[in-house]
Amino acid sequence: AQSVTQLGSHVSVSEGALVLLRCNYSSSVPPYLFWYVQYPNQGLQLLLKYTSAATLVKGINGFEAEFKKSETSFHLTKPSAHMSDAAEYFCAVSDRGNTPLVFGKGTRLSVIA
Amino acid sequence: EAQVTQNPRYLITVTGKKLTVTCSQNMNHEYMSWYRQDPGLGLRQIYYSMNVEVTDKGDVPEGYKVSRKEKRNFPLILESPSPNQTSLYFCASKRGGGTEAFFGQGTRLTVV
């Protein structure tokens, strides 16, 4: 069964600093990978996805993620944090069939002025 | 506008009183699912459906029922709610394998 591990349930960064949220997956074949963001009292919104095209994926709001097969990782980064980035971020994986998305436990990002 | 609509957004009920949370999508997606979100546990899948009249258990199906009589609707039924079902529930839909899932705004359920 697939699984996703997000290292760090809470990450705190200063405004303008690099954001790095970690995600590792377990899958025997390269899966589809997703990052979602959840703002307070809202549903989940797709940030970006990897579906076996370019390994560096650019998403909305200046976020990007790099798929590294050798490390089974799909870490999310943003060069300069903004106050509006404060939210909960979820990494998710699915295999290549029409199968459920499996989510990590989430990482809450705080941005300090 | 493409969307997944859940109702109600907030619900407080008493133990044992049957309730239904509705979910509807207007994107003609074949795949729909229900998740519950609890602090520190992320999103866990309750049930999913790959097409009309096809449903299957997710990771935490106990105490829940679903039905998929029409492509656009996927209600979640709690026949006899208990306090441990107090949670934030999300409905999601997607077109197929490898595609993104679209989420509803969530239903915050409290069972007292």
Chain segment B30-57, per-residue pLDDT in tens: 999 999 999 889 899 999 999 999 999 9
Q: How many CB pairs under 8 A join A and B?
A: 60
pLDDT of B76 above 90? yes
What confidence score (pLDDT) does residue A28 get? 67
Q: Which residues of A41-70 are buried (b: 16+ CB within 10 A; e: fewer)?
A: eebbebbbbbbeeeeebebeeebbbebeee
Retrieve residue B90's tokens.
């999300």
pLDDT digits (tens, 9 = 90+) for B79-110: 999 999 999 999 999 987 778 899 999 999 99
Nearest CB neighbour to A51, from listed B41, B98, B101: B98
Confidence of residue A41 (pLDDT cuts 50, 70, 90): confident
Nearest CB neighbour to B42, from listed A43, A51, A90: A90
Mean pLDDT over all residues of chain A? 91
Cβ–Cβ below 8 Å for A98 and B41: no
pLDDT of B3 above 70? yes
* Sequence letter at residue B108: R
What radius of gyration, in Å, describes the C-alpha atoms of chain B? 13
Strand partners for A12: A110
pLDDT of B15 above 80? yes
Looking at per-residue pLDDT, the higher value among A96 and A68 belongs to A68
DSSP state of A79: S
What confidence score (pLDDT) does residue B82 get? 97
Which of these, A109, A103, A95, A26, lies nearest to A61 by C-alpha position?
Answer: A109
CB contact, 8 Å: A90 with chain B? yes
Question: What's the full length of chain B, in residues?
Answer: 112
List, as own/partner pairs, every contact residues A40-43 make where C-beta atoms lie below 8 angstroms and the sequence separation is at least 24, other chains included. Answer: A40/A87, A41/B106, A42/B105, A42/B106, A43/B4, A43/B90, A43/B103, A43/B104, A43/B105, A43/B106
pLDDT digits (tens, 9 = 90+) for B59-74: 999 999 999 999 999 9
Nearest CB neighbour to B40, from listed A9, A49, A92: A9
Q: Which of A101, A102, A107, A108 to mutate to test the interface with B (most CBs of B within 10 A)?
A: A101
Q: How far is B14 from chain A (nearest CA, A)?
A: 23
Dihedral of CA A28/A32/A37/A38: which sign? negative
Cβ–Cβ below 8 Å for B100 and A46: yes
